[in-house]
A = this chain, B = another copy of it.
Amino acid sequence: MPIVTIQQFPRDLAQKRELARRITEAFVEVYDLKPESVQVFFNEIDGEGWAKGGVMGCDNAST
């Protein structure tokens, strides 16, 4: 550990690559850990699998 699990909308690989790099860097610098101890998991969920305010993402034009 630490294990980081991210629930998010689908993103392209380049964005996830950059995000994982920066999150890992934050752990290394703030917690003084070796990079290899940090794992990041992306759980990608689209608008048919997520609701906010009781409204599915796919039904909400403003999401």
Interface of A with B (CB < 8 Å)? 1-9, 11, 13, 15-27, 30-31, 35-36, 38-45, 48-56, 58-59
B52 touches A16 (CB 8 A): no
Residue of B nearest to A63 (CB): B1
Count this chain's copies in the assembly. Answer: 6
B58 touches A35 (CB 8 A): no
In the complex, which of the residues A18, A26, A30, A58 has the most CB atoms of chain B within 10 Å of its own CB atom?
Answer: A30
A9 touches B19 (CB 8 A): no
B18 touches A30 (CB 8 A): yes
Query: Given A2-B6, A3-B6, is A39 in contact with B30 using a C-beta cutoff of 8 Å?
Result: no
Bound-state CA distance A50–B8 (Å) is 13
